[in-house]
């Protein structure tokens, strides 16, 4: 098979062909190589896509392929516990990925691809109302009490540290608060002027250097749900 350059035109052509089939359920056979990823990318232009794979290994392979093609809108929803009831060996990392995926599911934004597997979706999660209630949304130039934000971080058991390296940590330096949300790949830097948010940015935890300014952030605390829930 010759190499295919993935362009918006190519993805749109795939999407048009699939949507032209006026069936409620559509089954695709003999879809090989990277075509499942192309189909998901094409359909995600107008809707959210949920990939459910048989097991974690296949789900990770699918996620890595999709993430390499479109990293900004692809999220992984892993399990926190193994089938024997013990914590997953990557529990903390999986919790971060799971929270990030949930954040996308409860938002009103489209064009998201969520990849998961059977065991992961059998675990209980917080309902939509509880999840959104416990989020802290901040906008650039918004009037927000500096002390109120610190109180939120303490109340939801974020750990104060000199520098922020891991999810669940925060640090304070003058008018700057660094915080690592459980739902974001990189930590946030929040710069205040009096009680107004002057600048929001993401930074690398290794270098502590900001690399991208953003207009809005979601701070999600650690929301764990027992398997017995």
DSSP string, 7-54: -HHHHHHHHHHHHTS--SS----S--TTHHHHHHHHHTTTS-EEEEES
Q: Which helix (H) or strand (E) is 132 found in, with range? A: helix 128-133
CATH of range 130-219; options 3.90.1150.10, 1.10.150.130, 3.30.2060.10, 3.30.70.1150? 3.30.2060.10
Domain boundaries, the chain: 8-123, 130-219
Asked if 144 and 198 count as a contact pair (C-beta separation under 8 A), the reply is no
The pTM (predicted TM-score) of the whole model is 0.68
- Residue by residue, pLDDT tens for the chain (229 residues) are 344 455 667 677 777 777 777 666 677 777 777 777 888 877 777 778 888 999 999 999 999 988 888 777 889 999 988 888 888 888 888 888 888 888 887 777 778 899 999 999 998 876 777 777 788 899 999 999 999 999 999 998 899 999 999 888 999 999 999 999 988 889 999 999 989 999 999 999 999 999 999 999 999 887 665 555 4
56-69 and 35-43 helices cross at what angle (nearest 10)? Answer: 60
């Amino acid at each position: 098979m010759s190499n295919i350059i993935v362009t918006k035109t190519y993805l749109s052509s795939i999407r048009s062909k699939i949507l032209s089939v006026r069936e409620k359920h559509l089954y695709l056979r003999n879809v090989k190589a990277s075509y499942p990823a192309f189909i998901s990318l094409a359909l995600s232009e107008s809707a959210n896509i949920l990939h459910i794979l048989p097991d974690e290994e296949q789900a990770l392979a699918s996620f890595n392929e999709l993430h390499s093609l479109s990293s900004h809108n692809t999220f992984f929803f892993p399990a926190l516990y193994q089938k024997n009831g013990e914590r997953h060996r990557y529990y903390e990392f999986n919790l971060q990925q799971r929270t990030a995926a949930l954040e996308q599911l409860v938002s009103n934004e489209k064009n998201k691809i969520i990849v998961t597997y059977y065991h992961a979706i059998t675990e209980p999660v917080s309902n939509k109302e509880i999840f959104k209630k416990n989020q802290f949304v901040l906008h650039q130039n918004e009037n927000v009490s500096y002390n109120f934000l610190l109180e939120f971080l303490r109340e939801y058991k974020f750990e104060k540290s000199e520098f922020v390296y891991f999810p669940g940590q925060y640090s304070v330096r003058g008018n700057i608060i660094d915080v690592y949300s459980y739902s974001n790949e990189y930590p946030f830097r929040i710069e205040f002027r009096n009680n107004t948010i002057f600048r929001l940015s993401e930074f690398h935890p290794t270098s502590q250097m900001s690399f991208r300014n953003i207009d809005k952030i979601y701070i999600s605390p650690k929301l764990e749900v027992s398997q017995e829930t």
